[in-house]
Every structure is written in C-alpha cells, then in structure tokens.
Amino acid sequence: MNIFNLLFNYVLQTTIKYDIDESHGLSHSMNVLHNAQSIRNSLNPIYHPYLKDQDHIIYTSAVLHDMCDKKYMDVDEGIQNIENAINTSFDSNDIDAIKQIMNTMSYSKVKLNGFPDMGEFQTAYHIVREADLLAAYDFDRCMVYDMYKKGTNVDEAYENAKKLFYNRVFKHHSDGLLITDYSQTQHFILKPLAHQRMVSWNQILKI
C-alpha cells in the first residue's frame, strides 16, 4: 500500500474515533504535509544530504502529528495506536524518531522545555514542528477550533482567536520558534494575511 494511503486512511479513521474536529483533521494534516515539503525543499542538499533518507519520517510525522493530541485523547494511547498502525512499514529506529518528533513538537512543550536533542533527526524535527507552526497562521482555523471545542459563537470565537494571534502566533518569529529561512520568510507573508482576515471578520460581524 502507498504509504500516504495508509497515513491518510489512519487520519480519517482516527478523527472519527476520537471526534477530532476539522481544525486538526484531514485538511490540516494535508496542509502541514505541504508545509513540511516546502521547508524541506528549501534546505540546501549540500548541507543536508541525509534528509533524502529521512523524508518518510518527516512526512509521516507531519501527517500524523495531531493523531495523538492531548486535546482529543490520551497522548500515550494515541502514540501507541500510531505505532501499531505503521509498525509494518517502518523499522524500529524510524518509529522511535517519529514518536519522539510528534511527542515533543507542540508549541506548549517547546515553550516549557525548549527544543529536544534529536541527534541525527534534529533537522527533521524542526521541519515538522515549523510546518505545524506555519499552519497556525490560518485565522479561520483558529476560530473553527474555538467553536468546536469551547462551544463559542462566532463573535466569541473571533475575539478569542484574535487574542491568541496577538499573544502567540504573531510572536513565533520574535520568540525564536522559526529556525529555517523559509519559515522566517513565511512569517512576514502570513502575518499580514492573518491581519487582513481579522479586518474582514470585524467588518462582517458588524453587519
């Protein structure tokens, strides 16, 4: 089976089983995958020749990273479920790397503990982590999560999302969370787009 068929089928099944809403579901997995590919392709192969042998780890972690999210399930249970699903497609060393990337890449864990020592997979870790951070610049996605998980109405979700963006997302660059040149550049592209979406919502909600 094509590995991506396996991965996305797993995302579909897991989102249903654990009632994972669309903000962390299939489309988000796809967006993070594409971000990861863009970051990975931006890195000079002369300085990162080993990445070609880690692509399967990078892309698997990108697709599955929220399938063990504590917002939706017990983390250890989610990690074990993922291992069970992919253990015939990866060797034990690769599975350990995938598990460690997914288990340490969240914004909250990085802010609390800093970056882990991932050894030979350090760059792969940052690629996946930053791919997820770039997906966080989607203002509507933030509102969607708030409405699903907190039961807020659209006005409340807008205000909550706006606070989160000013307190967190817009600080990704200044907080030193974006390591690669690609992600740093994307910050200055995505930030004004998010501002524009805020202005648009503000106008709509005043109608």
Share of the chain above pLDDT 70, in %: 100
Q: How far apart are CA 185 and CA 173, in angstroms?
A: 10
Q: How far apart are CA 82 and CA 149, in angstroms?
A: 23
Q: Are residues 148 and 194 in the same domain?
A: yes
What one-character-per-residue DSSP string does 129-184 give?
HHHHHHHTT-HHHHHHHHHHHH---HHHHHHHHHHHHHHTGGGTTTTT---SHHHH
Q: Are residues 190 and 131 in the same domain?
A: no
Find out whether 82 and 29 touch, Cβ atoms under 8 Å.
Answer: no
Which residues in the chain come in under a pLDDT of 70? 1
Q: How far apart are CA 118 and CA 141, in angstroms?
A: 30
The predicted pLDDT at position 2 comes to 85
Q: How many domains does the chain have?
A: 2
Long-range contacts of 200-204, Cβ-Cβ distance < 8 Å, separation of 24 or more: 201/139, 201/143, 201/158, 202/158
Q: How far apart are CA 61 and CA 128, in angstroms?
A: 7
Amino acid (one-letter) located at 134: L
Q: Are residues 166 and 127 in the same domain?
A: no
Question: How confident is the model over 145-169, as pLDDT tens digits?
Answer: 999 999 999 999 999 999 999 999 9
- pTM over 0.95, yes/no: yes
Q: How far apart are CA 151 and CA 49, in angstroms?
A: 47
Last residue of a domain, one of 135, 170, 195: 135
Q: Are residues 98 and 4 in the same domain?
A: yes
Q: Are residues 92 and 142 in the same domain?
A: no
Question: How confident is the model over 7-40, as pLDDT tens digits?
Answer: 999 999 999 999 999 999 999 999 999 999 999 9
Q: Are residues 180 and 114 in the same domain?
A: no
Last residue of a domain, one of 94, 110, 135: 135
Q: Are residues 89 and 100 in the same domain?
A: yes
The predicted pLDDT at position 119 comes to 97
The predicted pLDDT at position 12 comes to 98
